[in-house]
Amino acid sequence: MWRSLLTLALLAAAATFVMNPIRSEETTLIGKPAHDFRLLDVVTGKDVGLSGLKDKVVVVIFYSHTCTFCRNYEARFRQLAADYAGKNVQVLAIDSTGRTAEEAAAAWKAKNMGFPLLRDDRARTAAALGATAMTTVCIVDVRGNLRYLGAFDDSESGTEIRSRFVADALAALLTGKAVRHEQTDVYGCMIPLPQ
């Protein structure tokens, strides 16, 4: 009996945690045009589209207020948006969990993140951009090509950060250099399969 309960608990935990979900050299999306999306900003109620952000580097963070991993990154996400305000960079968060816009908006407003939260209620945008876990970050260059897909940095907890993948990719793109790490492993809660 206990063995069955332990097995069920381990299977449930595995269903909500993903490590290394996007490493596939045969199906890489890096360097290709990013999927154009048009999604609802849960706070303003307006649609935001990737094509409407041309001439900007766009950082897309897959996020859910119920994901423990996301909560560990919130201060770093907020700081990134503040650091790049006014620097031709647009930071966006996308919630692909299927929660209502009202629920997501209430949680987002309370956190005062400083950038929009968009609702991807059927997880189609997540799938099209190659994100399978919350905390996945995608960076799209000014030409609309996906240039980075992976983790924010190499520290889930925020301590002892050695590699700042997103900051390094942004610095490279803004100075016309090659992105050193184009794809990295991600830790996070699993994004539901598209409906």
pLDDT attached to residue 147: 97
- Which residue range forms the structural domain that includes residue 174? 2-189
pLDDT attached to residue 4: 47
pTM: 0.85
Other beta carbons within 10 angstroms of residue 105's beta carbon come to 20
Kindly state whether residue 194 falls inside one of the protein's structural domains: no
Kindly state whether residue 195 falls inside one of the protein's structural domains: no
Report the CATH number at residue 20.
3.40.30.10
Count of domains for the chain: 1
Residue 187 φ then ψ, to 5°: -110, 135
pLDDT attached to residue 6: 40
pLDDT attached to residue 194: 76
pLDDT attached to residue 28: 80
Q: What does the angle CA 44 – CA 45 – CA 46 come to, to the nearest 5 degrees?
A: 90
Kindly state whether residue 73 falls inside one of the protein's structural domains: yes
pLDDT attached to residue 27: 53
pLDDT attached to residue 171: 95
* Below-70 pLDDT ranges, the chain: 1-27, 195
Kindly state whether residue 26 falls inside one of the protein's structural domains: yes
Kindly state whether residue 180 falls inside one of the protein's structural domains: yes
Intra-chain end-to-end CA distance of the chain, in Å: 35
